[in-house]
Amino acid sequence: MELKEKLIASFMAFENQVDIDLPVHDVRSEAIKQFETQGFPSKRDEAWKYTSLNSILKHDYSVFPKRENHIDYNDIKKYFIHDIDTYKIVFIDGKYSSHLSETTHDGIDVCLMSSALTKPKYRLIIENYFNKVATKDSLSSLNTAFSQEGAYIHIPKNKLVAKPIQIVHFSTGNEAALLLQPRNLIVVDENSHVQIIERHQSLTENPVLTNSVTEIYANKRAIVDYYKIQNDNENASLIDSTFVNQKQESVASVHTFSFGGKLTRNNLNFYQNGERVDSTMKGITIIGNKQHVDHNTLVHHIEPNCESHQDYKGIFGDSSTGVFNGKVLVDREAQKTNAFQANNNILLSDKATINTKPQLEIFADDVKCSHGCTIGQLDETAMFYLRSRGVPEKEAKALLMFAFSNNVMSSVKIPEIKQRITKIIATKLGVNIGFDL
């Protein structure tokens, strides 16, 4: 049985496990119809022209893990940002782990989607926000159809969250192949501020496919600072779809650090539904072997006097492949828009590939919009200068790559995140440059 048919058949079994009288039932039922009609995307779809899912769809994935698994904290503590105090929402094979998590109800809701979707106290938020900004593409619809578990975060008005929130998903390998579909809903009300760190981590060599959807709502003057760390093993694949809806004078930023995994596809969509909105999308990709990372971004400028900033850096070695497909859409009413988009790439190998397509679609006439991309190799003059000063070749290359990535790193607002990413980059490049960490 092909995966599509297996998922459609599994939906009936899934419905037997959930309360079909809940309002979300109709949303799920409509979503599975969308997926059944569209199926999995293929290279015939323009947005997937350079990314094929064939190699990861051939496995016989378990849709529902057979049992709950336990992990000892000492075995996985290296995957947490433990240099700072944080709230933690931890999932093991798609199931919530209470002994690894640290949540709170002290003025803010940091809890589970399974609770939010079923308990009356959350019904108003679910009715107003759940699946309202996520698009109806096939993979987002598939996630919506099976939506049950993930992180639910609601920050009420005028609240500065005291510490960052970590959302971490582990897969143990107790299944021969596992499909995970976490669903996150994050609502930040007026004048509030939150920082969130997200990670998907496989602890196994068995194939894992994660189809994740996150909806983020930044209301008036809210500030959302979001970090995605993607450094998985080479049998794990991730399709991550994040949708950000911003209201008047809100500030939202998403930093995506892609260093590992077999296939990674990041769909990141910003919708500016208010004036004086600021949106930031930045990323660093460093991969090798036959790894594949695809960034597909959209910023939709709907109202006037708004800004957006996109800056993605890619370093590709061996036979790896990168894709960047970024689009800035400026509506007729979105006058005084200031939009910047850049994608810069370095190929370290003759076999490495990058496909990049920055796009502007502008219907307003009073705007400042720029876009561009570069593809090249390391600067030979700079290499010669460093070598002539006694810097070994490997360290010289690493210094140039750190400098290349610096524009993205400089905008990271959590020092401990910057330190962790710096360490990962040094490990990826096989050097110890002597940063003071």
Closest CA to 205 of 234, 168, 180, 181: 234
Q: How many C-beta atoms lie closer than 10 Å to residue 251's C-beta?
A: 18
Taking the C-alpha atoms of residue 96 and residue 407, their distance in angstroms, rounded to an integer, is: 36
pTM equals 0.94
Q: Residue 354 corresponds to which tokens in the numbers above?
A: 């990058």
Across 92-97, average pLDDT: 92
Q: What is the CA radius of gyration of the chain?
A: 21
86: buried, middle or exposed (CB in 10 Å: 19+, 13-18, 0-12)? buried
Per-residue pLDDT of 215-238, as tens digits, reads 999 999 999 999 999 999 999 999
Across 288-302, average pLDDT: 97
> DSSP assignment, residue 388?
H
Across 255-274, average pLDDT: 97
Across 74-87, average pLDDT: 88
Across 120-133, average pLDDT: 94
Across 6-19, average pLDDT: 86
Higher-confidence residue: 382 or 30? Answer: 30
Using alpha carbons only, what angle is made at residue 150 by residues 322 and 302, rounded to the nearest 5 degrees?
60
Q: What percent of the chain has pLDDT over 70?
A: 97
3-state class (DSSP) for residue 377: coil
* pLDDT surpassing 90 at residue 429: no
Taking the C-alpha atoms of residue 229 and residue 59, their distance in angstroms, rounded to an integer, is: 25
Taking the C-alpha atoms of residue 302 and residue 310, their distance in angstroms, rounded to an integer, is: 17
* pLDDT surpassing 90 at residue 318: yes
Per-residue pLDDT of 182-207, as tens digits, reads 999 999 999 999 999 999 999 999 99
305: buried, middle or exposed (CB in 10 Å: 19+, 13-18, 0-12)? middle
Any residues with CB less than 8 A from the CB of 95 and at least 6 apart, and which? 65, 68, 69, 149
Taking the C-alpha atoms of residue 236 and residue 200, their distance in angstroms, rounded to an integer, is: 9
b vs e for 20-31, b when ≥16 Cβ sit within 10 Å of the residue's Cβ? eeeebeebbeeb
Cα 375 to Cα 140, 294, 313, 323, 341, distances in angstroms: 31, 16, 10, 12, 15
Higher-confidence residue: 22 or 274? Answer: 274
Residue 345, pLDDT score? 96
Orientation of helix 24-38 relative to helix 138-145, angle to 10°: 140
Per-residue pLDDT of 417-427, as tens digits, reads 999 999 888 88
Closest CA to 275 of 320, 335, 233, 224: 335
Closest CA to 197 of 423, 415, 429, 422: 415
* pLDDT surpassing 50 at residue 436: no
Orientation of helix 415-429 relative to helix 393-409, angle to 10°: 150
Residue 198, pLDDT score? 97
Q: Is the dihedral of CA 173, 174, 180, 186 positive or negative?
A: negative
Taking the C-alpha atoms of residue 323 and residue 278, their distance in angstroms, rounded to an integer, is: 25
Residue 437, pLDDT score? 32
Mean pLDDT of the chain: 92
Rounded (10°) CA dihedral 300, 305, 306, 307:
120
Residue 355, pLDDT score? 96
pLDDT band, very low/low/confident/very high, at 428 (cuts 50, 70, 90):
confident
Report the half-sphere exposure of 49 (CA within 13 A, side-chain side): 10
* pLDDT surpassing 50 at residue 71: yes
Across 278-289, average pLDDT: 96
Per-residue pLDDT of 127-141, as tens digits, reads 999 999 999 999 999
3-state class (DSSP) for residue 298: strand
Closest CA to 226 of 181, 204, 256, 246: 256
Q: How many C-beta atoms lie closer than 10 Å to residue 314's C-beta?
A: 28
pLDDT band, very low/low/confident/very high, at 67 (cuts 50, 70, 90):
low
Per-residue pLDDT of 142-170, as tens digits, reads 999 999 999 999 999 999 998 999 999 99
pLDDT band, very low/low/confident/very high, at 27 (cuts 50, 70, 90):
very high
Residue 435, pLDDT score? 43
Which of 75-84, 158-167, 284-293, 309-318 is predicted least confidently? 75-84
pLDDT band, very low/low/confident/very high, at 328 (cuts 50, 70, 90):
very high
